C-alpha cells in the first residue's frame, strides 16, 4: 500500500513538465530531493536540484531568484498539449492517464506499469508497455497518421476508422484493436482499495434492525460513531446517511454505498449478498474459502456495485463507476495523524476483523485475514477456496 503515494514510483510522469527541486544545504529534508535525484538517474534523466548554500529549511535569495527565472521561462513557453513523446507510469488505475493516453486495464495492480510513446518523423507512433492489458487514446493525437507499433509489433488503423479514438487490448500474447469486454473487471476509478470509495460521493446506509450478536452490534455502534467523528474532524464534513428502507434507485445511481450492519439487520446489505464472492449469515462468515465465527468476526470490503434491486432497472447488473463498501470508513486512524505521510490506506480490498480485540488508534480490530481482489474482482487464485468465486 505504500506504493500508492510513494513518489519515486511515478517518476516518469514528471518528464512531461518542468521540474525543479530545491533544498537548503543544511536542511535535514534534503534527503527527499536526494531520493528523487536517484529516481531520475535510474530512468536515465537528471533532476534539476538547486541547493541554497548554508540554508536550513528556507530559500536562499539567489536560489529563489534563479528558480523564479526558470518558472517564468516555462510559463512563457507554455505547455505542449500534443507532445511528440510522453511517458505514463503508475501502479493503479486511480491514476490512469497522461495527455492523450489512458490505461483501461492492468495485468496486475500494484506492479510497476508504464506506457512510453514517441512519434517518428513521418507520424508513426511507437509505444512500449509494461504490465498493461488494455489502453485507449483519450483523443486522437494530431501528429498521428494511423500507423503504430506496440511493443515492436506493427498495427495500422483502417482509413474508415481514421477519425475515431481507438482502443487496444492484449489478447493471446499480442495486441489488437478494440477495448476489453464488459465483464466485471478493475477499471479506472473502480479498482479499490477500500479508501478509494471516499474520493467521490458516498451514502452511508444504516440498518433498520440490530445484529443478533451483542459483540458485533457494539462494534458496529462504536465504529459508526468513530467514522462520523473522524469524517468531521479530518475532512470537515457531515456524513450523508439514510436508513436501508429509504434507499432509492437514484441513490444507487448517484453514490457509492457504504453499507453498515449485517445481512439480518440491513436489508440493502442482504440484497447485495447474492452478488458477493463471500458468504455471511448469523452463524458463519466465509471469506476466501475460510470460515470465521460470525459472533466475533466482521468483514470490511469494497466491491463494484451490482444489484438485484426490487425489480428496478439495476436488476443483476453492475452500476457503472460505483462501489459498495461494507462496514468501513477511511482505514487510517488517530495513530496516523501525527504526519500526513501516514494518512494513506491501511487495508487493501478486503479484510476480516476479529473484534475480540477492541478498536484502537491503529486499527478497528485484529486483522485475521486481508488481501486484494484480482483484476476480475475475484479472490486471488492461489488462495481461492471452493465456492468463493463470483
Q: What average pLDDT does range 61-65 have in this prediction?
A: 98
The answer to whether 206 touches 259, Cβ cutoff 8 Å, is no
Q: What pLDDT, on a 0 to 100 scale, did the predictor assign at position 389?
A: 30
Q: What average pLDDT does range 226-252 have in this prediction?
A: 95
**180 band by pLDDT with thresholds 50, 70 and 90:** confident
Q: How far apart are CA 49 and CA 30, in angstroms?
A: 10
Show Cβ contacts of residue 232 under 8 Å, excluding neighbours closer than 6 positions.
238
Instruction: Determine the distance from the C-alpha atom of residue 69 to the mean position of all C-alpha atoms in its chain, rounded to a whole number.
Output: 37
| Average pLDDT over the chain, rounded to an integer | 91
Among the listed residues 207, 227, 176, 182, the one whose alpha carbon sits nearest the alpha carbon of residue 333: 227
Neighbours of 312 (CB within 10 A): 11
Q: What pLDDT, on a 0 to 100 scale, did the predictor assign at position 178?
A: 84
**165 band by pLDDT with thresholds 50, 70 and 90:** confident
**114 band by pLDDT with thresholds 50, 70 and 90:** very high
The answer to whether 239 touches 260, Cβ cutoff 8 Å, is no
Q: What is the pLDDT of residues 280-329, one digit of tens each?
A: 999 999 999 999 999 999 999 999 987 666 655 555 555 667 999 999 99
Give yes or no for residue 262 having a pLDDT over 70: yes
- How far CA 299 is from CA of 73, 193, 296, 347, 350, in Å, comes to 54, 14, 10, 12, 7
Q: What pLDDT, on a 0 to 100 scale, did the predictor assign at position 49?
A: 97
Q: Which residues pair with 105 in a beta bridge?
A: 134
Amino acid at each position: 500500500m505504500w506504493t500508492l503515494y510513494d513518489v519515486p514510483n511515478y517518476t516518469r510522469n514528471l518528464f512531461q513538465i518542468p521540474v525543479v527541486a530545491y533544498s537548503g544545504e543544511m536542511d535535514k529534508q534534503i534527503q527527499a530531493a536526494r531520493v528523487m535525484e536517484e529516481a531520475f538517474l535510474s530512468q536515465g534523466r537528471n533532476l534539476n536540484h538547486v541547493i541554497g548554500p548554508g540554508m536550513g529549511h528556507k530559500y536562499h535569495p539567489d536560489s529563489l531568484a534563479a528558480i523564479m527565472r526558470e518558472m517564468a521561462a516555462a510559463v512563457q513557453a507554455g505547455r505542449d498539449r500534443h507532445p511528440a513523446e510522453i511517458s505514463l507510469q503508475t501502479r493503479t488505475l486511480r491514476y490512469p492517464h497522461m495527455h492523450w493516453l489512458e490505461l483501461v486495464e492492468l495485468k496486475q495492480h500494484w506492479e510497476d506499469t508504464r506506457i512510453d510513446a514517441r512519434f517518428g518523423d513521418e507520424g508513426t507512433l511507437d509505444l512500449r508497455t509494461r504490465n498493461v492489458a488494455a489502453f485507449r487514446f483519450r483523443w486522437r493525437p494530431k501528429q498521428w497518421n494511423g500507423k503504430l507499433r506496440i511493443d515492436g509489433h506493427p498495427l495500422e488503423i483502417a482509413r474508415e476508422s481514421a477519425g475515431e479514438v481507438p482502443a487496444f487490448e492484449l489478447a493471446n500474447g499480442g495486441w489488437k484493436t478494440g477495448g476489453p469486454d464488459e465483464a466485471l473487471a478493475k477499471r479506472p476509478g473502480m479498482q479499490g482499495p477500500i479508501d478509494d470509495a471516499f474520493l467521490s460521493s458516498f451514502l452511508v446506509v444504516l440498518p433498520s434492525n440490530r445484529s443478533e450478536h451483542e459483540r458485533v452490534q457494539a462494534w458496529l455502534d462504536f465504529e459508526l460513531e468513530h467514522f462520523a467523528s473522524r469524517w468531521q474532524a479530518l475532512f470537515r464534513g457531515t456524513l450523508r446517511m439514510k436508513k436501508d428502507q429509504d434507499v432509492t434507485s437514484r441513490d444507487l445511481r448517484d453514490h457509492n454505498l457504504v453499507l453498515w450492519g449485517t445481512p439480518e439487520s440491513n436489508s440493502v446489505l442482504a440484497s447485495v449478498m447474492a452478488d458477493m464472492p463471500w458468504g455471511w449469515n448469523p452463524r458463519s462468515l466465509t471469506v476466501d474459502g475460510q470460515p470465521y465465527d460470525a459472533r466475533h468476526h466482521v468483514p470490511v470490503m469494497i466491491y463494484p456495485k451490482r444489484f438485484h434491486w426490487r425489480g428496478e432497472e439495476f436488476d443483476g447488473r453492475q452500476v457503472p463507476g460505483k462501489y459498495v463498501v461494507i462496514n468501513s470508513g477511511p482505514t487510517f486512524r488517530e495513530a496516523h495523524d501525527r504526519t500526513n505521510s501516514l494518512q494513506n490506506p491501511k487495508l487493501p480490498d478486503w479484510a476480516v476483523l476479529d473484534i475480540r480485540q477492541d478498536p484502537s488508534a491503529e486499527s478497528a480490530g485484529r486483522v485475521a485475514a486481508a488481501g486484494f481482489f484480482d483484476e476480475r474482482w475475484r479472490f486471488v487464485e492461489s488462495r481461492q477456496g471452493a465456492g468463493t468465486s463470483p
